[in-house]
A and B are shown apart, each in its own frame.
Chain A
Amino acid sequence: MSIAPSDHDTRRPADAREEDYLWTLNFGPQHPATHTTLRLVLKLEGERVVDAMPEMGYLHSGFEKIGEHLSYNQYVTVTDRMNYISPMANNVAWHHAVERLMGIELTPRCKVIRTIVAELARISDHLLCNGAVGLDTGAFTFFLYAFYQREVIYDIFETLCGARFTNSYTRVGGVSQDFTPLVVEKIRTFLRTFPKTLDDMERLLTRNRIFVDRTKGVGVLSREEAIAHGATGPVARASGVTRDLRKDEPYLAYADYDFQVCCASAGDCYARYLVRMQEMRESLRILNAAIENLPAGEVNVGIDERVARPSKWQVYSTIEGTISHFELSMANRGFEAPHEESYAAIEAPNGELGFYVVGDGTENAYRARCRPPSVLHFALFPRLIRGHTLSDVVAVLGSLNIIAAELDR
């Protein structure tokens, strides 16, 4: 039985105010579609979102305070737990900032190795982000495809350093483990097999009518808004901001590779999805070039720099190696950072991830400020959702890829 329009009287009394027809919905902090712990208070008129008040801090664990109590090498374990979707990128970002502060030049092999792990992290981040957008808009198979490939990347990282995703891989002036032939082989296998899955995933979702309808034109962010609100990474690039630190300020070995900065102009959820899909293909290009041109030689900086641990051969066979190993291992010795401060950032999968590090002459940072991209993206959320329906909330949240541990630190 259907209700005729006349039965369902929608006329409002003359003295009604607009607020009388609004209702408030609490969304989170424990909600399946937030994926992490964040909270929204939505003001709704029927199903239409009038306003959203985001709230965060539900996972604030004092990362920056811990950074003042751990040494430059120890703190890398904490950065793992920051953006746990792509911990390798955080490791690289932290030590990139520390090495900028100390003025250390990495070896060519280390630069390429860090580039490779950072790009693998980018692929695994985009897989999860797009997979989660798919999941929230009803494409569960797509999510399973994405997660299976993430397992392959986990396996590579596990072979490399023993941990699935809390890697703690980098060290000041180098990395904890050099690439072994098995790791190289596994990465090559991944590079061979992944494009096929990526094609399958594109076929599943990119032209899927339901998905396109749910994401196209939803959560539009204009170029001016993106810049004024400090958006970076895929969120900004999907709005037409052609800013990619890998091109603009080439760090590590990015200047040596041929790749394109993926941009879109629409600025909606669908554009963000497309940018991420395309960035995975560009990452594959970088990875293919990098793994086939992996330079030989030492992976850590030399003994003279007095920051990276010497190899076992050097410790046992040379007096410099022995002294350096002793100095670095003893409590209260270690290396010294300059009495200065600097900022360095990398293009993390989520946007510009930088650290403002203040050195005070000891081996602990005086202040380790993390510049998290998620905070600025989450602050954009009310602008993106106003006027859309309640069901679009999950699509917009997913496409912004907000990771609570990075949001709150």
Chain B
Amino acid sequence: MTDPLPQPALPESIAARFAGLDVSAFRGQTRVVVPAAEAHGLLAALRAEGFDLLVDVTCVDYLEYRGATRRYGLVYLLASTGGGQRLTVRVFLDDPQPAIPTVVDVWPGAEWLEREVWDMFGIRFEGHPDLRRLLMPEAFTAHPLRKDYPLQGRGERHNFPVLTRDEG
């Protein structure tokens, strides 16, 4: 996979409007780091610029990552259905109360992806129409993909009544 796909850098109109963004590339993928306050504006501008497909919204918890200074790194993967281009937008957030404006108004498909990030990482998306847990039960209190949550959980999986033959 060493042959990099043809990847353009940021479109010029975006680069002009949002000055001072940290743009980098790795294995042919362009990445942009944007402050949380400007994220919504940049993403909306990118959509208007042709990145019409929101491929994924996810997050990485950098709690134990060597060299990391911020705790949460949101990842927005964008693509254009016409030109086959891709772009990764990164937003870094910190404890306590990590929060960012939602992009559901830009891509309606972001609704469930953001719900999943809320469920797994506890990042609040402000303005989200229906920010409930997506995968875990409503009674669950932790955010399992955070690095300080153990793999085997904290015993929630054993909290059920036992049915025996007599009760059947």
Contact = CB atoms under 8 A, between A and B. Distances in A.
Direct A–B contact in complex, judged by CB atoms less than 8 Å apart:
yes
Interface of A: 56-57, 60, 62, 64-66, 68-69, 96, 99-101, 103-106, 227-232, 241-243, 248-249, 251, 339-345, 352, 354, 356, 358, 360-361, 366-367, 369, 371, 375-376, 378-379, 408-409
Given A65-B145, A344-B1, A356-B77, 16 more contacts: A57-B133, A68-B151, A96-B1, A105-B2, A227-B53, A228-B52, A228-B108, A229-B107, A230-B109, A243-B53, A352-B55, A354-B77, A366-B65, A367-B61, A376-B113, A379-B112
> What is the interface of chain B mostly: helix, strand, loop, or mixed?
loop
A341 B60 contact: yes
B75 interface: yes
27 contacts: A56-B134, A56-B135, A57-B133, A64-B120, A66-B151, A68-B151, A99-B1, A103-B1, A106-B1, A228-B52, A229-B109, A243-B53, A243-B81, A249-B5, A339-B67, A342-B29, A343-B86, A344-B1, A354-B77, A358-B65, A366-B64, A366-B65, A369-B60, A371-B55, A371-B58, A375-B116, A376-B112
Interface in B78-126: 81, 84, 86, 88, 107-113, 116, 120
Contacts of A231: 109
B55 A354 contact: yes
Interface string B140-151: 000011000001
B160 interface: no
Given A62-B151, A343-B77, A356 B1 contact: no
Nearest to B88: A343
A248 B84 contact: yes
A56 B116 CA distance: 11
B27 interface: yes
A354 B151 contact: no
Contacts of B144: 62, 65
Contacts of B112: 375-376, 378-379
Contact of B60 (A229, A249, A358): A358
B66 interface: yes
Nearest to A366: B65
A99 B61 CA distance: 23
A227 B110 CA distance: 12
A104 B29 CA distance: 16
A227 B56 contact: no
Contacts of A69: 151
A343 B88 CA distance: 9
B15 interface: no
Contacts of A342: 26-27, 29
Interface in B1-17: 1-3, 5
A229 B136 contact: no
Residue of B3, B65, B81, B109 with most partner-chain A CB within 10 A: B109
Interface residues of B, number: 42
A227 B2 CA distance: 30
A65 B1 CA distance: 26
Interface of B: 1-3, 5, 26-27, 29, 52-56, 58, 60-61, 64-67, 75, 77, 81, 84, 86, 88, 107-113, 116, 120, 133-137, 144-145, 151
A105 B27 CA distance: 12
A378 B112 CA distance: 10
Contacts of A68: 151
Contacts of A229: 107-109
Contacts of A361: 66
B104 to A, nearest CB: 11
A100 B1 contact: yes
A345 B107 CA distance: 20
- Name the 4 nearest CB pairs between A and B, nearest first: A230-B109, A229-B109, A248-B84, A57-B135
B55 A360 contact: no
Given A56-B135, A57-B135, A379 B109 contact: yes
A117 B116 CA distance: 31
Q: In this complex, which of B52, B53, B54, B84 has the most chain A Cβ atoms within 10 angstroms of its Cβ?
A: B53
Contacts of B86: 343
A329 B154 CA distance: 33
Nearest to A245: B84
Contacts of B77: 343, 354, 356, 371
Contacts of A356: 56, 58, 75, 77
A4 to B, nearest CB: 46
B160 to A, nearest CB: 15
Given A69-B151, A105-B2, A371 B135 contact: no
Contacts of B107: 228-230
Contacts of B135: 56-57, 60, 408-409
In this complex, the member of A230, A232, A356, A378 whose beta carbon has the largest number of chain B beta carbons within 10 angstroms is: A230
